[in-house]
Amino acid sequence: MATMGAAPLSSAAVALTPHRRRGWLSRFGEPPPIVAADLLDRIAAAGARPDSAGVRQAAQALGVLRAHRGHAVAGLVEDLTALRALLPQNPHTVTLVDAALTAAVAAYVDETTAILEARATRDPLTGLPNRATLAEALDHEIRAARRGTPPALLLIDLDGFKGVNDTDGHLAGDAVLVGVAQLLCAQVRGGDLACRLGGDEFAVLLPRTAQAAATKIARRIVTASRTDAALASRSARVRLSVGVGWLTSPSSADELVALADTAMYAVKATGGDDVHVAQPEQA
């Protein structure tokens, strides 16, 4: 019995020559990822009592890697099929590779689903939540305001952003947008929601926040933006126009957005780089 149990380890080690190992790992590019080498070595070294949990974890990591690289699931199946062809075709090895394939595909599917969900709710450049996420969160906060303090909304437009794109190029513009996102995340509170609406427009939802507190946060953002190196390209610099929308009893998200939008354009009309708090009759 002991001899039979040791056979898979011995035959696997003979079959997996350095040349074959390099050949399989070359499927993943140079240098090959650690997770692929880890899976290969774990399966090749499996004896009569293999580390099934370790093989499963390595396979899951490979599935996640393939999902992030945008490969089709068929490619992942081919990866594991090619691996099985390298090793002895005995029931022990076939079962182990098949289990690895099942784990890898399941992890691939889960990660792909998560990626697609993130793309639907997040801006791909800055990583901030997008307009759809803001709308959902704003509706929720307005409904909750009937039982407590209403939310405030900051709408933010970049002054001079076109000059960055036109003078230094779109890569410089993208870097500035990322810089604005990082600035907002650094200046708002933990429970606030900073979003990119598109183009050079951003927003911050401030749940359960009085008008005075919202205005203070808006001014803090503008002050920080004036010295933030990430908001400047080689030849130009952007400034922020921030409109504060706040109502004691907002009836809808559209009402609050319209108010903040009016305030933001009031800032831009006077040169930008400032904060304006709209009054309800202005909307």
Among residues 249, 280, 250, 248, which one has the least CA distance to residue 263? Answer: 280
Written as six digits, the tokens of 24 are 């399989």
**What distance separates the 2 farthest-apart alpha carbons in the chain?**
88
- CA angle, 243 then 248 then 252, to 5°: 75
Is 261 among the catalytic positions?
Answer: no
Q: Is 241 helix (H, G, I), strand (E, B) or coil?
A: strand
Written as six digits, the tokens of 128 are 């901030």
Question: Catalytic pick from 157, 159, 200, 228?
Answer: 200
DSSP lists the bridge partners of residue 195 as 203
Distance, in Å, from the CA atom of 136 to the CA atom of 141, rounded to the nearest integer, reads 9
The letter for the amino acid at 216 is: K
Q: Is 208 helix (H, G, I), strand (E, B) or coil?
A: coil
Distance, in Å, from the CA atom of 113 to the CA atom of 223, rounded to the nearest integer, reads 40
Residue 189: alpha-carbon gap to chain centroid: 20
Written as six digits, the tokens of 260 are 């903040």
> Looking at the chain, which runs of residues are DSSP E strands?
152-159, 193-198, 201-206, 239-246, 274-277
Burial of 190 per CB tally in 10 Å (0-12, 13-18, 19+): exposed
Q: Residues with catalytic annotation?
A: 200
